[in-house]
Amino acid sequence: MKNDTLVSFEGVVKRFGDFVAVKRMDFEIGKGEFLALMGSSGCGKTTTLRMLAGLEAPSEGMIRLSGKPINDLPTWSRDTPMVWQSLALFPFLNVVENVEFALKMRGVGKAERRRRAEQWLDRMQISEFAGRNISQLSGGQRQRVALARSLVVEPEILLLDEPLSALDAALKVRMQSVLKNLQRETGITFVYVTHSQSEAFSMADRVVIMSRGQIEQIGTPQEIYRTPRTRFVADFLGSSNIFTGKVTASDDGGVVLDTASGPLRLKSDERHVVTPGQTATLTVLDTRTNLAVTKPDGPVNAIPVRMIGEEFIGATATIYLETGTGQEIRVQKSHEELAGIPLEIGQELFAWWAHTDGHLVTED
């Protein structure tokens, strides 16, 4: 991917007065990649996107597009079309005129731009609405017009700022597959800002998780899901059980943490080197955490827990449990995997996981 870098952020900082919206971003976006910028509101993801679009100027650092610095290039001299959260369709133009807009700005002739706009309307399956007013369209149709308007110039990169947030759940899922297919077919690089984990993880090739103006982790959805790098990411994804304790041993044999739930062992990790005496945090996925009636043997961590609740969604059950010290942990399993375990509120059980399933994360 390194040879195929389309965009690079090099030490980019953005300040608004005293407020630092983005603190030193260093990352690259590959050609043809679907990259999601994810984080809660105010984390700097939209500011990052707007700097790429040229709607905000970085306070420090350099943004390159295809190797060329674009810091000083105004947005109207870049080819970085964006799809807004509000869509920002022009209400005084009809559907086909909206799509033609960017071509008109580039001086494409009347007949040619009409032809190209109609091609994109066709591709987005909204050609029957070409002559309509924007106000006469449904949310999903407007979405498609906004996409067609940005894509009609066939850019190298498309920026999307939470474009699906106004849609209802069913439509959201449909538009996700439309977007993913569109990205795959056109090979255009998509940079997609969202606060929704399901949107980011279902569409993106790589996800950038941001918090308070910084990158917490970059990786494929699987990497991030399986091994969250920081405490923030583990908390944000909400799919891990988290234990904090003092390191009592750290060698080739592994790391031992002395937590409120007893000593927990895990394999050492070259990315998170810890020394005895320091505090460290361990995460284990709720799907990798198991339940047993009797304390299991072998290279596992097992802690006594009491069941406090359960939730069934389809074939998966989420069991909520409480440790002796009152910490809540979760176990997510299929019904088959839970066969033979008495699931009653108040039931005393053991939650256990293999030593190899625990990971260290960085504390913030």
Where does this chain bind other proteins (CB under 8 A)?
A: 53-55, 74-77, 79-82, 84, 86, 88, 90-93, 101-102, 105-106, 133, 135-136, 149-150, 153
CB of residue 49 vs other proteins: minimum separation in angstroms? 11
Minimum Å gap between C-beta 79 and other proteins is 8
Are 15 and 59 in contact by the 8 Å Cβ rule? The answer is yes
Tell me how many helices (H) and strands (E) the chain has.
8, 20
Question: What gap in Å lies between CA 359 and CA 355, rounded to an integer?
Answer: 9
150 or 283: CB nearest other proteins: 150
Nearest distance from C-beta of residue 75 to other proteins, angstroms = 5
Helix (H) or strand (E) holding 273: none
Q: Rank residues 9 and 101 by Cβ distance to other proteins and give the closer one.
A: 101
- Long-range contacts, stretch 19-28, CB < 8 angstroms, 24+ apart: 20/213, 21/47, 21/213, 22/47, 22/48, 22/51, 22/58, 22/213, 23/212, 23/213, 23/214, 24/61, 24/214, 25/61, 25/214, 25/215, 26/215, 27/208, 27/215, 27/218, 28/1, 28/2
Residue 79 neighbours by CB distance under 10 Å? 13
Residue closer to other proteins by CB (options 80, 230) is 80
Q: How near is the Cβ of 179 to other proteins at its closest, in Å?
A: 19
**Is 51 or 361 the residue whose CB approaches other proteins more closely?**
51
Q: Tokens for 163?
A: 């474009």
- Supply the minimum distance, in Å, between the C-beta of residue 114 and other proteins: 17
> Of the two residues 104 and 271, which places its CB atom closer to other proteins in the complex?
104
88 or 343: CB nearest other proteins: 88
Q: Which of 24, 3, 4, 5 is nearest to 13 (CA)?
A: 24
As measured in angstroms, the least distance from the Cβ of 133 to other proteins is 5
Distances, alpha carbon 223 to alpha carbons 207, 219, 242, 246, in Å? 10, 6, 17, 26
Q: Which two tokens stand for residue 36?
A: 């999601």
Q: How far is the CB of 109 from other proteins (least distance, A)?
A: 16
Report the residue number, 81 or 228, with the smaller CB distance to other proteins: 81
